[in-house]
Amino acid sequence: METEKLIDGKPVSLYTIVNANGMTCDITNYGAKIIRLYAPDRNKKFEDVVLAFDTLEEVIEKEEYYGAVCGRFANRIKDGKFSIDGKEYTLAINNGTNALHGGVDAYNTKVWDVIKEEETKLVLGLFSPDGEEGYPGNLQITLTYELTNDNALSVHYEATTDKPTVIGLTQHSYFNLKGAGNGTIKDHQLQINADFYTVLDESFALTGEIRPVEGTPFDFRQPVLIGDRIDDEVYVPGWGMDNNWCLRKEQQGDCVLAGYIYEPVSGRKMEVFTTQPGMQIYTGNWIEKQTGKEGKTYDRQDAVCLETQGFPNSPNIPFFPSPVLRPGQKYDEWCIYKFSVE
């Protein structure tokens, strides 16, 4: 990827953070996207485990969510409408009848400001003006990526507003623990610490119904081979998983182990910790066959996203954990991807 280019008058560059173990992560301030993430296998061989592209032009023109931070509200808001304090807001529609991942010109398309660059840490900022994509309030966001010496990549979101708004940010990296472009993720094991999941309507928006995973194909409390479940008719028939699980925690805001993926040949394991209430598992169902980094081919179900998030459509479902942020409050959430080997 080019080292620097101007978009909307702002410089776009690629930044590298590294820890003491040689683990590295390349991040661009265009969309706050993770472009490369090198993790060791059980033989200490490093492999890039996220899907992305080699050039900025491809990052802009091809799959828009690879590695991106999505917002102002990640996932779907039904019919692109919600109300706060009796006032209705109408959003940009970009996914069937729904608003998805913040809209048409959302945070994944913005040039983020670089606040601080250190060896292990990159701090980015974004100002999201009142009315952008239909969302109320001037929102100021600080995003911190950090590689720690226990081989964890932490993502810390902080935000404030000057008007009541909704917010829900997520990191949308597409993972393959064999290495990006090295085939399907059906041979990965998936474990999720959730006793309940949320139900989708025909438009893939949440209905508000929450069901127990017990006795269903949504039960990942013990690790399951993704290939054994991915084609189950309870998911998108013939395509795969794109569902939200309600994470088990004592109280909202606790940072808990949401779950993990494990790839047995390399021995790589990635645990996901978060303060957020939900986690979306998306198995790359809509990836169109394309050429990715180093000329490798990406295809459907060649990656899995573990998107920690507020519950989708929660602006319209009062008994879901509230996504409303008010003046004087601070949005403060974490997602941590911790790598190890077994």
pLDDT of residue 236: 74
Say if residues 231 and 238 touch (Cβ distance below 8 Å). yes
Percent with pLDDT over 90 in the chain: 92
* Residue from 263, 271, 307, 333 carrying the catalytic annotation: 307
| pLDDT bucket at 1, cuts 50 / 70 / 90 | low
pLDDT of residue 239: 85
The three-class DSSP label of residue 7 is strand
> Which residue carries 């209430």 as its tokens?
277
DSSP H or E segment with residue 238? none
> Comparing C-alpha atoms, which of 103, 101, 113 is closest to residue 32?
113
Task: Give the CATH number for residue 137.
Answer: 2.70.98.10
Say if residues 283 and 192 touch (Cβ distance below 8 Å). no
CA distance 34 to 24: 11
- Is the pLDDT confidence value at 229 over 90? yes
Q: Kindly provide the residue ranges of all beta strands, DSSP E only, lying in 236-330, ordered along the sequence.
A: 242-247, 256-262, 268-274, 278-282, 290-291, 297-298, 305-309, 324-325
The three-class DSSP label of residue 134 is helix
Mean pLDDT of the region 165-184:
98
Say if residues 89 and 79 touch (Cβ distance below 8 Å). no
CA dihedral 50, 44, 227, 338 (to 10 degrees): -60
CA distance 121 to 34: 13
Q: Which residues contact 66 (CB under 8 A, 6 or more apart)?
A: 33, 50, 51, 52, 53, 59, 172, 173, 174
Q: What are phi and psi of 83, to 5 degrees?
A: -125, 145
Does residue 307 have an active-site annotation? Answer: yes
pLDDT of residue 4: 76
DSSP H or E segment with residue 15? strand 10-18
Domain region containing 9: 4-341
pLDDT of residue 178: 98
Percent with pLDDT over 70 in the chain: 99
- Is the pLDDT confidence value at 336 over 70? yes
Tell me the residue type at 319: F
pLDDT of residue 253: 86
Mean pLDDT of the region 46-73:
95
Q: pLDDT, tens digit, for every residue of 273-294?
A: 999 999 999 999 999 899 999 9
Tell me the residue type at 240: G
- Pair of tokens at residue 104: 């048409």
Q: Can you give the pTM of this predicted structure?
A: 0.97
Peptide bond into 211 cis (omega under 30): no
pLDDT of residue 2: 60
Cα first-last separation, the chain: 33
Query: Angle at Cα 17 formed by Cα 11 and Cα 21, nearest 5°?
Result: 170
CA distance 217 to 260: 17
Q: 58: which DSSP letter?
A: H
* Residue from 101, 172, 271, 333 carrying the catalytic annotation: 172
CA dihedral 225, 194, 108, 123 (to 10 degrees): -110
Q: pLDDT, tens digit, for every residue of 233-258?
A: 898 766 899 999 999 998 888 999 99
- Mean pLDDT taken over the chain: 96
Mean pLDDT of the region 252-268:
96
Domain tally for the chain? 1
Question: CA gyration radius for the chain?
Answer: 19
3-state helix, strand, coil in the chain (%, to 5): 5, 45, 45
Q: pLDDT, tens digit, for every residue of 103-114?
A: 999 999 999 999
CA distance 55 to 2: 7
